[in-house]
Amino acid sequence: MTTTAGSVENGRAKAVDRHDAPDAETATSIGFVGLGHMGGNMAARFLAAGYDVYGEAQTRESAQDLVDDGLRWRDTPREVAENAEIIFTSLPDDGVLEQVAAGPDGLLAGLGPGKVWVDVSTVSPSASRALAEQVSKLGAAMLDAPVSGSVPQVQTGTLTIMVGGDSDIYARVEPILSVLGTPTHVGENGHGLALKLAINISLAVQMLAFSEGLLMAERSGIDRELAARVMTASPIGSPMLKARAALVLDLPETAWFDVGLMQKDVALALDTARQLRIPLPSAAAADQLLSVARASGYERRDLAALFEVLAHMAGSPSR
């Protein structure tokens, strides 16, 4: 299945090519709980691809643009799970995930034989595995499918998706995941999350190292924009740094991936490393600066804010 994101309205991806939309009689119904920046844009791509999508979020108002585009609103996670065959969740942390799952109105209460829960959240592998065991007892299946990429990659369907869980269940949902990007089955439950945390160590560390180098170049008298352009064109210029260089030069009010969520992921990686008894020295260094960034009021600003934090630490504000 292919779709083409042709425009963005109200912060959501809008697809214009529906030639591969699922057949109305055989289409899989999709549920989505958690319709924030990432989840909302994922749901938008599924709607644009022609799927029936049932959804729930903290408030209906926050998802009204999706409802206007055809999202079938449901009041509780349970109702979403009862109405859909494949249920996605995109949630900020372990606590919210467990809150959405539990209770009489929770997602678990709506699951049953044949249903699949695909969690694209970045949470702890241990919490995800525990939920997967509960799901299995209900006759359903759960996959952890965290994604690498931010809002622009959701909108263009170019996310990298790491999937943990049963291989046969993965084969069933792979075409659906392909609407969002490139999925890869990496192993059993929890393995997708372990790999996502491994990737996000580099996300934080690269951003910190780039910010350090850019600050040193600027304070040496080199124009900041010129330095950023040369640095991202050099061998260190990963796709992430190339995409975020503009955000470093002009920090936006709306984050692609904010400091608070980044530190949450680094903390999960450090906790996982302690369980595995392995050192993560660069992750620990990034964690320290992320703490400074949060204390300095940047918690909800994009990760690119690390440059400004370093500049202030150096004794004068960035220009």
Structure tokens at 12: 């959501």
Are residues 81 and 168 part of one domain? yes
Query: For residue 59, what are the CA distances in angstroms to 87, 100, 174, 191?
Result: 19, 14, 30, 32
Are residues 171 and 213 part of one domain? no
Model pTM score? 0.85
For the chain, give me the number of helices (H) and strands (E)? 14, 11
Q: What CATH code is carried by the domain that includes residue 306?
A: 1.10.1040.10
What residues contact 212, with CB distance under 8 A and at least 6 apart? Answer: 310
Handedness of CA 295, 297, 298, 301 (dihedral sign): positive
CB 117 within 8 A of CB 135: yes
Domain stops at, among 188, 207, 237 = 188
**Distance from CA of residue 2 to its chain's centroid?**
21
Domain containing residue 84: 5-188
Specify the residue for token string 């998802």: 63
3-state class (DSSP) for residue 105: coil
pLDDT at 316: 63
Are residues 213 and 87 part of one domain? no
Domain stops at, among 126, 158, 188 = 188
CB 113 within 8 A of CB 84: no
Residue 159 lies in a domain: yes
Residues classed as catalytic: 196
Handedness of CA 269, 271, 274, 279 (dihedral sign): positive
Residue 318 lies in a domain: no
Over the chain (319 residues), the average pLDDT of each successive run of 10 is: 36 44 61 94 96 93 93 96 97 94 96 97 95 97 94 91 97 97 97 96 96 97 97 95 94 92 96 95 97 96 96 75
How many distinct structural domains can be found in the chain?
2
User: DSSP label at 257?
Assistant: S
Are residues 120 and 19 part of one domain? yes
Alpha helices in the chain (DSSP H): 37-48, 64-68, 77-83, 94-101, 107-110, 125-137, 151-156, 167-177, 191-219, 224-233, 239-249, 259-276, 281-295, 306-313
Are residues 299 and 215 part of one domain? yes
User: DSSP label at 286?
Assistant: H
Are residues 226 and 148 part of one domain? no
pLDDT at 27: 65
Q: What CATH code is carried by the domain that includes residue 137?
A: 3.40.50.720
Radius of gyration of the chain (CA): 20
Strand partners, 9: 12
